[in-house]
Chain A
Amino acid sequence: MPCVAEFPQLESLKQREKELGFKFLGLQVNGLLNKMRDVVKEKKTTFPILLDDRRFARDVLQISGTPTTFVIDKEGRIRARLVGGTKDIDAVIVDVLGKI
């Protein structure tokens, strides 16, 4: 499932940040600036998209592809790594957030 397909679910997750007490960050792993801006406009997303200019996702988080989602607890520890997209990714993440 391509990254863009799950943008609506990610946006609905972003809208629940305050209610569930977390911060949502998108991390763009390639340098396609204009394409990314077009997608943000088309999908009407408001979550921040960080520019990964030092290969943090690839070299530090060691992702093997996109999308990959990380859920981090209050102590700053990585508690879940979710590879690939799925139509209910928002529900999956909410479940994980409730258990860490």
Chain B
Amino acid sequence: MAHLAPKFMIVLCALAFLAGGCARHVAPSALYILEELEAASAVKDPAGKVERLTIFIGNHGDSQYRFVAYNRALETLTVEMKDDAKAAQFLAGALAKETEPAARGELLLAKFEYLMKKDKNAAVAFADSLFETGRSARLFLYMGYELMDPKADPDLALKCFLKSADLSADPHAKSNAIANAGAVLDQQGKKEEAKRYLAMAAGNPDADGLLAKILWAEGKRDEALDLYIRAAAGMPGARDEEKLDSLDAVVHPGATDLGERIMALRIGDEGPLAGATFVDLDGRAYDLAKLKGTKIVINALSPT
């Protein structure tokens, strides 16, 4: 049997070559990469953990999971090792290596979040310094989220959200940033300006819901209810949270078709789902293109 094995292998490899298998570079699967990341993160000694995470980043420089590694290494350096100088050095090294705007945005965000915990004034100054060169919509959006707390810097948060909207090419991302700008203005009591921005983000459930709340308080109940219904179409939880059934009973006494009115706005057409391939937690492969002809429900989730 042993002497047959090499011949058998040659036949197998020839078949694989004909199928393109031998010639093609096969990227490691997402599951394999995550297993490696968890193994690096499980190292007990903090310095050893940072070293393993750095090796992971070097091995998977094109994987988005490297940002989890960056964050874990930074957390180890600052929380476990309390070595701010090394953390700053680590971050500077990472920024020198990452050139793509979105990737740099992730790192700058990590630095901002670290500064927010350590020294709020320094974080605000850092955020302010990024407006000239920052090109990541997500960076400004997330800095805005942190700064919109009245105890932080709502004015700068507003500036961040507007910058994020400017940098966002996608309409969903743009609306979300503008909706948040409206939320800051509302929080600051600038109702008219808030209304203007929220109306610009029409179709974003948060914007619709907040504009509805403002209009309801102003007594414009019909207009407010229509907006609430649109908000609940995109954000199903809003029906209970905003007590829409009671609000509807005020505007349309005796009506029983609120669910139908919400549903009528819930279904639209955003266009075709882009193709993509994935592996799941158990290593099974999925190709969205192959699911055409079947209805699909995709739930984007995180384990929180």
Q: Which residues of A contact B (CB under 8 A)?
A: 1-4, 10, 13, 21-40, 48-58, 60-64, 66-89, 92-93, 95-97, 99-100
Contacts and interface: CB of A to CB of B under 8 A. Distances in A.
B89 interface: no
Contacts, number: 207
Contacts of A52: 30, 278, 300
B87 interface: no
Contact of B297 (A24, A39, A51, A53): A24
Interface stretch (B7-15, B150-158, B287-295): B287-295
A4 B303 contact: yes
Given A60-B276, A73-B295, A100-B267, A3 B284 contact: no
20 contacts: A3-B301, A21-B294, A22-B295, A30-B68, A49-B280, A51-B278, A52-B300, A56-B276, A61-B300, A64-B173, A67-B301, A69-B300, A76-B291, A77-B271, A79-B268, A79-B269, A81-B270, A93-B297, A95-B263, A96-B263
A24 B240 CA distance: 25
A51 B280 CA distance: 6
Contact of B273 (A78, A82, A100): A78
* Most chain B beta carbons < 10 A, residue from A25, A58, A79: A25
Contact of A63 (B37, B65, B67, B300): B300
A27 B268 contact: no
* Most chain A beta carbons < 10 A, residue from B30, B35, B282: B30
A70 B297 CA distance: 6
Interface stretch (B107-115, B181-189, B218-226, B231-239): B231-239
Contacts of B205: 83-84
B236 A92 contact: yes
**What 10 pairs between A and B have smallest CB-CB spacing?**
A53-B30, A86-B237, A50-B278, A78-B270, A22-B295, A31-B68, A51-B30, A62-B172, A33-B34, A3-B301
Contact of A78 (B35, B266, B269): B269
Contact of B31 (A22, A51, A93): A51
A64 B55 CA distance: 31
Nearest to B204: A64
Contact of A38 (B234, B273, B303): B303
Given A50-B280, A70-B296, 14 more contacts: A23-B296, A25-B286, A31-B67, A33-B38, A36-B281, A37-B281, A62-B173, A71-B295, A73-B295, A75-B292, A77-B270, A83-B235, A84-B235, A89-B236
A24 B299 contact: yes
Interface residues of B, number: 57
A70 B273 contact: yes
Nearest to B138: A58
Nearest to B67: A31
A10 to B, nearest CB: 6
Nearest to A91: B236
Contacts of A89: 236
Contacts of A69: 297-300
Nearest to A86: B237
Contacts of A81: 234, 270
Given A22-B296, A51-B30, A81-B234, A31 B65 contact: yes
A23 B280 CA distance: 14
A1 B273 CA distance: 26
A66 B65 contact: no
B279 interface: yes
Interface string B205-229: 1000000000000000000000000
A1 B286 CA distance: 28
B256 interface: no
